[in-house]
Amino acid sequence: MNNDNGLDKLSRIGIGCWAFGGGEYWGDQNQKDVDDVVRMAVEKGLNVFDTARMYNDGASEVSLGKALRGLRDRAFVISKVSPARAYRKALKEECENSLRNLGMDYLDMYMIHWPINPQGIRHFTGDPDIIARPPATEEAFAALDELKKEGKIRHIGVSNYGIRQLKEAVSFCSGIAVNEMPYNIISRAIEAEIMPYCAEQGIRIISSMTLQQGVLAGIYRTADDVPPHQAHSRHFAQERGNGVSRHYEAGAEEDVFRTVALLRELSEELGVSVAQLSVAWVLANPRITTALIGSRNEKELDENIRASELALPADVMEKIDRASLAVLEKLGNSPDYYENSKESRIY
């Protein structure tokens, strides 16, 4: 792959690397499995690998770097910087740290992980000075532009940016290539405004949370089955998150699992898994360039790859759209699924 023109050759499915390296949220992750997944992905033509400094305190980057040894020129590697570290000097230091972790001399894309605002920054630091005087957006994008000119990064991206935040970012940086956003059957908030704006600006969308942390893989039949640390989004009632939830909303559990039940029925009719059906639905949207999916082993990766080859009949798409509309109506058009919809970090 020619990395200079890599944006035109991004694979439809990308590897979400949050679990790589192992950590508290996803548990242990065997490095051999990571090596096998990365090798298989590259052999099958998948080239997008998405990591971040915050994923397992850098262990994800280290793990991915090990797995990509000898395969670097066939990979499009994305990492991200915390908004709390988006001051010019700190951002450039973070990029160097990521490169060192990965064992690479450049990143294909470097993203600001969340918009730069006090509410978002609180999730990355408790330093009152940083929260009170956050980095300036202009300063952050100037630093990214410097890194690009230095050859340390090939492309500039953002993650979790809303319309107003994108407009501000674009005013300082005309070269924003990608906005990475959560998008799946029960998380459709970006359809209303963010998707059309990104299309208008020529900004590609890479979708995260494709399987909503297992919910859209059909692993769970009811909300009671979902582990508390994976049930703290606004899809679930506040009390479901066992003290972790902070959205203080009623959730949409009944509609979510009614939709999952339909997916189970449709998957049986089509002879595919619920996960494949969910992935195929995301990929059917032409405004999604790449859908990120975590694969813990080769078996999971193979299933995800086969989903990319699945063309859903129009009536199946319509049934899924109609069923999931109830979730969209309850959760609204705020794509921040972990904060109260009136206090979103994304706007």
Q: CB pairs under 8 A, 24+ apart, for 297-305?
A: 297/33, 297/36, 297/37, 298/33, 298/36, 298/37, 298/40, 300/37, 301/15, 301/37, 301/40, 301/41, 301/44, 302/40, 303/273, 303/275, 303/276, 304/13, 304/275, 304/276, 304/279, 305/13, 305/44, 305/46
Average confidence (pLDDT) over 309-335: 97
Would residue 287 count as lying in a domain? yes
* Residues forming a β-bridge with 14: 48, 292
Would residue 127 count as lying in a domain? yes
Would residue 74 count as lying in a domain? yes
Range of the domain at 76: 3-215+282-310
pLDDT of residue 332: 97
Band (pLDDT 50/70/90 cuts) for residue 284 is very high
Q: How many domains does one find in the chain?
A: 1
Would residue 323 count as lying in a domain? no
Written as one letter, the residue type at 30 is N
Task: Check: CB of residue 199 under 8 Å from CB of residue 287.
Answer: yes
**3-class secondary structure, 290:** strand
- Across the chain, which distance is largest between two alpha carbons, in Å? 57
pLDDT per position as a tens digit, 225-243: 999 989 999 999 999 988 8
Would residue 84 count as lying in a domain? yes
**Residue whose structure tokens are 């915390």:** 82
pLDDT of residue 276: 97
pLDDT of residue 4: 42
Between the alpha carbon of residue 151 and those of residues 89, 106, 145, 223, the distances in Å are: 17, 7, 10, 47
**Residue whose structure tokens are 């970006």:** 190
User: Chain centroid to CA 141: how far?
Assistant: 21
Would residue 51 count as lying in a domain? yes
pLDDT of residue 3: 40
Percent of the chain scoring above 90 in pLDDT: 93
User: How many CA atoms lie within 13 Å of 255's alpha carbon, on the beta-carbon side?
Assistant: 22
Written as one letter, the residue type at 208 is S
Instruction: Give yes or no for residue 306 having a pLDDT over 50.
Output: yes
pLDDT of residue 1: 38
pLDDT of residue 58: 95
Q: For position 120, which CATH number holds? A: 3.20.20.100
Average confidence (pLDDT) over 177-195: 98
Average confidence (pLDDT) over 238-266: 95
Would residue 244 count as lying in a domain? no
CB atoms within 10 A of CB 303: 17
Q: Kindly give the residue spans of alpha helices, DSSP state H, lying in 23-156.
A: 31-43, 59-67, 88-102, 118-121, 128-132, 137-149
Would residue 149 count as lying in a domain? yes
Instruction: Give yes or no for residue 112 having a pLDDT over 90.
Output: yes
